[in-house]
Amino acid sequence: MNKPLALKEVIADTVFLAKRLRSETSGEVMTDAASRGRYATDASIYQTMPLAVFVPKTAQDIVSAIQIAADLGVPVLPRGGGTSQCGQTTGPALVIDNTKYFRNILDVNLEQGYVDVQPGIVLDHLNAALKKHQLWYPVDVSTAAQATIGGMAGNNSCGSRSIAYGNMVHNVLGIDAWLADGQVASFGLMKEAQGKALQLGQFVQSLAHLHQAEIEEKWPKVMRRVAGYNLDIFNNQSERPYTQDGQVNLAHLLVGAEGSLAYYKQLRLKLSPLPKHKTLGVVNFTSFYEAMDSAQHIVKLLPSAVELVDRTMIDLSRNNPAFKSVIETALIDVNGKTPEAILLVEFSGEELAPLEKKVKDLVSLMADLGHPNCVVEMIHAETQKNLWEVRKAGLNIMMSLKGDGKPVSFIEDCAVPLESLAEYTQGLTEVFSKYGSRGTWYAHASVGTLHVRPILDMRRDGAQKMRAIAEEAAALVKRYKGAFSGEHGDGICRGEWIQWQFGPKLTEALGEIKHAFDPNNLFNPGKIIHPPKMDDASLFRFPPTYQVIPLKTSLDWSSWDVQNNPVTEETTAPGSGGDPAGGFAKAVEMCNNNGHCRKFDAGTMCPSYRVTRDEKHLTRGRANTLRLALSNQLGQEALFSDEVKEVFDLCVSCKGCKRECPTGVDMAKMKIEYLSHYKKKHGWTLRDQLIAALPRYAHTIAAIPGLAFLFNLRNHVAPLAYLVEKLTGISAKRSLPTWRRDTVWRSQLGCSEEALLASSKPVVLWADTFNGCFETENIQAAVRVLEASGYSVHIPRKANGHYCCGRTYLASGMVDRAKESIAELLTTFTRFTDKNIPIIGLEPSCILTLRDELLVMNFGPSAQKLAAGSQTFEEFLVSEAQAGRFIPKLKSCEKQILLHGHCHQKSFDAVKPIIALLKMIPNAQPQLIESSCCGMAGSFGYESEHHAVSLQMAELQLLPAIRQAPDAIVLADGSSCRHQIKDGAKREALHVARILEMHLQ
Ligand SMILES: Cc1cc2nc3c(=O)[nH]c(=O)nc-3n(C[C@H](O)[C@H](O)[C@H](O)COP(=O)(O)OP(=O)(O)OC[C@H]3O[C@@H](n4cnc5c(N)ncnc54)[C@H](O)[C@@H]3O)c2cc1C
Ligand code: SF4
Ligand code: SF4
């Protein structure tokens, strides 16, 4: 086999590499800068351009790729979700992404309690499949929705419940892996090993024997040690043995190897029974130190988790209206003072009664320790779940700090013995303040692994501070006999600490293991063995040389253009952050690559990824592409290139990311900004213009007799539809909304402005383009419902038209036109908001534009007032009902109601009011369909090139759920959602206003 090539030579060979991969495999090969850039980072501070990216379709593709790379001396880097925090998945290599095709469950063996899986399967997907057997794979990492089993094994990941179940290494029974020569070896119990696996096992065993004394002296004894290779499998040093019966399992050599020894083909995992019951005791502390000191005693009660939430997190949650009530269920304020820390102590098992007793034992224990009356007992599953959710969300708020200073992960998982936890955390807190920073502490108190991230600015003095803090933290870890790398692996930021932890002899022994497995340094070089310096700025995502191109933005991004104070976390005034792109670049840089947008389970984010499983069509992929373009890393004028345009092609502007991304990356807004520049340069298509200007010409079509009829012919005469598709790109496979003459504005619906102003129950019902032109029944229904409860309803009209939010212009980046339209609306609506008259709307995307995009168009205080005064129909009625002003007389509901929330409703947490409103109907039991975007997304689903993918999005959950309930009433407030449901499931969905109207007595 050839020796690895120097980097320059390797680059020259990339072309040949790609050529061979394309001709000898069936996988997807990517060599363009944007694609490589999307695989250059993970959730760490590092970035290195890979040489190429390969997405294999078959196992044979991977074998071929390994062999081709070996032939050419190109390094190979296997990758899962890319959520590593230490730079494990960054490197100048052929990056191979297992997540798209290599993600199957191969065998579930219930008798022997194991499952065989491919490495690209995501933990949550595996556990969802195991649930029916009442089993689970219990290494419950916080990234369970996106982390893959291969990546988890690569990092020897650990979950919140590791005190009960152990780390990844304790739950892997076997691994079949490709070695550097492309041959497969089976790693399992040593006594059963054969061939190359046995040979390698025996070699490592001889090394272990040779270094036994050194291992015993240097190896940390804590369970949470994940650094280096597991040389101690022959003579376990951890407080938790590798195997229950003491047998040596050679697969454990590969766990935690970070892809640097072999490439996992399939993994055998040990399954655990799903606990039937859980109880929770929340212990409140008046001092952080006491909380830390108590953990060592609490674990003696054998909890399944002990998780810390510190004062900063408590305050963050308490100050957030969405979480306040939940966090307060866990708090005991002594003399009006908020606790300094809480520990969430969970017990789980088969029977409830013993678990309830455990909580009582906790109460007694705390009293014995001098902390009486400090435990909140939570027995009900729902209350527990809500609290866990808040803990998770608190972390998200912390991560969404704006400005260049970011909470940096590099010492966030040092593990120390529990008896030293209090002193260790106190010592580290002092270190932070010495370097002008501060840490927020959270997570796994049960195993002495607390997460903490000081805020550092890597573009300025962050690297120096990082090293200084790491060195002092290391000294503390050594003093307390802990492990420097206790959960997230070594990667780049901890690689150099392996030698510090184990000493030169053992480091050399680890190097020998690498050489025996991978003599030519093919697999993920520079990880674990010969790592670079953690503060090598050439490996940073934001090195001091990082520069953003100047850009005059169309929207106002100044609230992102700030800097922060690392101690108080206060941010400077909007616009003061020094971003040459007016804050747009800083908004894009909010993506920290945690990969949560790869989740599939609940919520909306990210529909285009859910149907394609392509990094390119993922929120993270889009943010990375934009970041690289805005910082000139994709070449001159990259913003106007096809590579960047492509990543937005399938973004349906659902705003799922705005709400669900932990750092609030709002790709829908970014798409508007991006399109405004791209289209200005390349021009708007006929289709763009037809769709954007629809609110303007809609009235003409309604006003001139015969025109509506003529336009509707397209829906009935197939050749016409075909011709329209050829001319405009609007799909012939779709029916278009039906034009009609009896638009809302041509009717007498509602009262005059004078009557409105004179009324004691005034409300402005804003008729948007879609409901006003095409589905007037919805507006009529809303008026009837409101009038039946005594409201005076006014519908604003203007000569030859109506007031429009500019949504259709925004969708194609015509920001100036949108501003004109919305300015006119604002002037008129200000007359009503000045008098505190509520503005309500039926079309979620239109009314919510007034709460969203309107605020980044520089319209000043009147826009703020309109945003505050605008509500959806159902939000208004629910708040009126709560105030005792809306008491409708409704008859009983005889049918099941299935509800599909519009993405923008979900994004603004505005689905709950629909349910609350429906529950006012006697006997109604609305059921929410757990759906992502319907796929229609305004005009997206009408576009010929998007028709198929649009239906795929709908087929993920929405359409099957509707088909399964043939007699149910289907509710969808969005016009395009209703259209998709009609096209895809042949069912008529109704706006909530119509359902309410149907039930008026
Ligand atoms: C917000 C956040 C929270 C986190 N919480 C936790 C937590 O609770 N517990 C925890 O342990 N970690 C946590 N992590 C770290 C990370 O999510 C986990 O380590 C996760 O298991 C990595 O999975 P992945 O699929 O993203 O792996 P990747 O990052 O893609 O890869 C991880 C390593 O595995 C190697 N690898 C991947 N596939 C293979 C293969 N087929 N063969 C050989 N090697 C392979 C890679 O080369 C790499 O070295 C967190 C990270 C973030 C951003
Ligand atoms: S877009 Fe948001 S969810 Fe996705 S990786 Fe970036 S920060 Fe995480
Ligand atoms: S707006 Fe929707 S489709 Fe676009 S990136 Fe965000 S979640 Fe994905």
Find out whether 708 and 749 touch, Cβ atoms under 8 Å.
Answer: no
| 116 DSSP 8-state letter | E
Q: Which ligand is nearest to the CA of 118?
A: 1
Find out whether 610 and 956 touch, Cβ atoms under 8 Å.
Answer: yes
Is the beta carbon of 929 within 6 A of some atom in ligand 2?
no
Residue with the smallest CA separation from ligand 2 atom 7 is 591
What does the pLDDT average to over 255-274?
A: 98
Burial 344-382 (b: 16+ CB within 10 A, else e): bbbbbbeeeeebeebbebbbebbeeeebeebbbebeeee
Of 653, 672, 848, 952, the one to substitute when testing ligand 3's pocket (max ligand atoms within 8 A of C-beta) is 653
- How many C-beta neighbours within 10 Å does residue 661 have? 25
Helix (H) or strand (E) holding 514: helix 497-517
* Nearest Cα to Cα of residue 917 among 887, 947, 944: 887
**Torsion over CA: 594, 597, 602, 605 (sign):** positive
Crossing angle of helices 421-434 and 462-479, in 10° steps, is 160
pLDDT tens for residues 437-466?
A: 888 898 899 999 999 999 999 999 999 999
Sheet (strand 305-310) strand order: 375-378, 277-285, 341-349, 305-310, 441-444, 449-452
Q: What is the pLDDT of residue 3?
A: 46
pLDDT tens for residues 957-995?
A: 999 999 999 999 999 999 999 999 999 999 999 999 999
CA distances to 554, 602, 672, 677, 756 from 814, in Å: 9, 33, 8, 9, 34
Bridge partners (DSSP) of residue 52 are 94
C-alpha 100 – ligand 1 centre gap (Å): 16
In whole angstroms, give the CA distance from residue 14 to residue 22.
12
Instruction: Specify the pairing of strand 762-766 against strand 375-378.
Output: unpaired
Of 38, 590, 600, 605, the one to substitute when testing ligand 3's pocket (max ligand atoms within 8 A of C-beta) is 605
Backbone dihedral region of 335: left (phi > 0), alpha (psi from -120 to 50 degrees) or beta? Answer: left
Kindly indicate the confidence band of residue 400, based on its pLDDT and cuts at 50, 70 and 90.
confident
In whole angstroms, give the CA distance from residue 189 to residue 210.
21
- How many C-beta neighbours within 10 Å does residue 697 have? 12
C-alpha 648 – ligand 3 centre gap (Å): 9
pLDDT at position 848 over 90: yes
pLDDT tens for residues 335-376?
A: 999 999 999 999 999 999 999 999 999 999 999 999 999 999
C-alpha 594 – ligand 2 centre gap (Å): 6
- How many C-beta neighbours within 10 Å does residue 887 have? 11
In whole angstroms, give the CA distance from residue 60 to residue 26.
9
In whole angstroms, give the CA distance from residue 994 to residue 984.
21
Quote the strand ranges of 688-761, DSSP E: none
Of 615, 646, 667, 670, the one to substitute when testing ligand 3's pocket (max ligand atoms within 8 A of C-beta) is 667
Which residue would you say has higher pLDDT here, 836 or 9? 836
Mean of per-residue pLDDT scores for the chain? 95
pLDDT tens for residues 561-604?
A: 999 999 998 999 999 999 999 999 999 999 999 999 999 977 89
pLDDT tens for residues 154-165?
A: 999 999 999 999
Is the beta carbon of 124 within 6 A of some atom in ligand 1?
no
C-alpha 80 – ligand 1 centre gap (Å): 7
Kindly indicate the confidence band of residue 12, based on its pLDDT and cuts at 50, 70 and 90.
low
In whole angstroms, give the CA distance from residue 398 to residue 407.
8
Task: Tokens for 823, please give them.
Answer: 């300015």
Of 399, 591, 628, the one to substitute when testing ligand 2's pocket (max ligand atoms within 8 A of C-beta) is 591
Q: What is the pLDDT of residue 438?
A: 86
Q: Which ligand is nearest to the CA of 596?
A: 2
| 945 DSSP 8-state letter | G
Q: How many CA atoms lie within 13 A of 515 on its CB side?
A: 9
Q: What is the pLDDT of residue 389?
A: 84
Residue with the smallest CA separation from ligand 2 atom 1 is 620
Fill in the amino acid letter for 465. Answer: K
CA distances to 17, 77, 106, 371, 655 from 64, in Å: 11, 14, 22, 63, 40
pLDDT at position 116 over 90: yes
pLDDT at position 6 over 70: no
In whole angstroms, give the CA distance from residue 704 to residue 699.
9
Q: What is the pLDDT of residue 1?
A: 38
Q: How large a percentage of the chain has pLDDT more than 70?
A: 99
pLDDT at position 9 over 60: no
Instruction: Specify the pairing of strand 375-378 against strand 341-349.
Output: unpaired
Which residue would you say has higher pLDDT here, 542 or 318? 542
Task: Tokens for 717, please give them.
Answer: 């005469």
Task: Tokens for 158, please give them.
Answer: 């650990």
Crossing angle of helices 381-399 and 321-328, in 10° steps, is 130
C-alpha 67 – ligand 3 centre gap (Å): 37
For the ranges 102-111, 116-125, 474-483, 658-667, which has the lowest average pLDDT?
A: 658-667
What does the pLDDT average to over 819-841?
A: 98
What does the pLDDT average to over 2-29?
A: 76
pLDDT at position 4 over 80: no
Q: What is the pLDDT of residue 831?
A: 97
Is the beta carbon of 204 within 6 A of some atom in ligand 2?
no
Task: Tokens for 782, please give them.
Answer: 């809303």
pLDDT tens for residues 121-130?
A: 999 999 999 9
Q: What is the pLDDT of residue 10?
A: 55
CA distances to 135, 309, 325, 350 from 278, in Å: 15, 19, 22, 9
pLDDT tens for residues 145-154?
A: 999 999 999 9
pLDDT tens for residues 517-533?
A: 999 999 999 999 999 99
**Which atom of ligand 1 lies nearest, measured to the CA of 262?**
43
pLDDT at position 209 over 80: yes
CA distances to 28, 606, 607, 648 from 617, in Å: 15, 8, 9, 7
pLDDT tens for residues 671-697?
A: 999 999 999 999 999 999 999 999 999
Find out whether 494 and 410 touch, Cβ atoms under 8 Å.
Answer: yes
Q: Spell out the residues 6+ positions from residue 541 whose beta carbon is closer than 8 angstroms to its own.
A: 41, 44, 45, 46, 47, 458
In whole angstroms, give the CA distance from residue 942 to residue 602.
26
Task: Tokens for 614, please give them.
Answer: 């392509």
Is the beta carbon of 43 within 6 A of some atom in ligand 1?
yes
Report helix, strand or coil for 47: strand
* Nearest Cα to Cα of residue 89 among 74, 98, 103, 77: 77
Bridge partners (DSSP) of residue 564 are 571
Whole-angstrom Cα Rg for the chain: 30
Q: Which ligand is nearest to the CA of 449?
A: 1
* Nearest Cα to Cα of residue 652 among 983, 902, 988: 902
| 260 DSSP 8-state letter | S
Residue with the smallest CA separation from ligand 3 atom 2 is 654
Find out whether 66 and 24 touch, Cβ atoms under 8 Å.
Answer: no
Q: What is the pLDDT of residue 440?
A: 84
Task: Tokens for 216, please give them.
Answer: 């015993």
pLDDT at position 395 over 90: no
| 376 DSSP 8-state letter | E
C-alpha 308 – ligand 1 centre gap (Å): 22
Task: Tokens for 920, please give them.
Answer: 């006012």
- How many C-beta neighbours within 10 Å does residue 593 have? 24
pLDDT tens for residues 191-201?
A: 999 999 999 99
In whole angstroms, give the CA distance from residue 455 to residue 405.
6
Q: What is the pLDDT of residue 394?
A: 67
Of 146, 648, 651, the one to substitute when testing ligand 3's pocket (max ligand atoms within 8 A of C-beta) is 651
Residue with the smallest CA separation from ligand 3 atom 8 is 606
Task: Tokens for 505, please give them.
Answer: 């002899």
The distance from CA 294 to its chain's CA centroid, rounded to whole angstroms, is: 34
Q: What does pTM read for this prediction?
A: 0.96
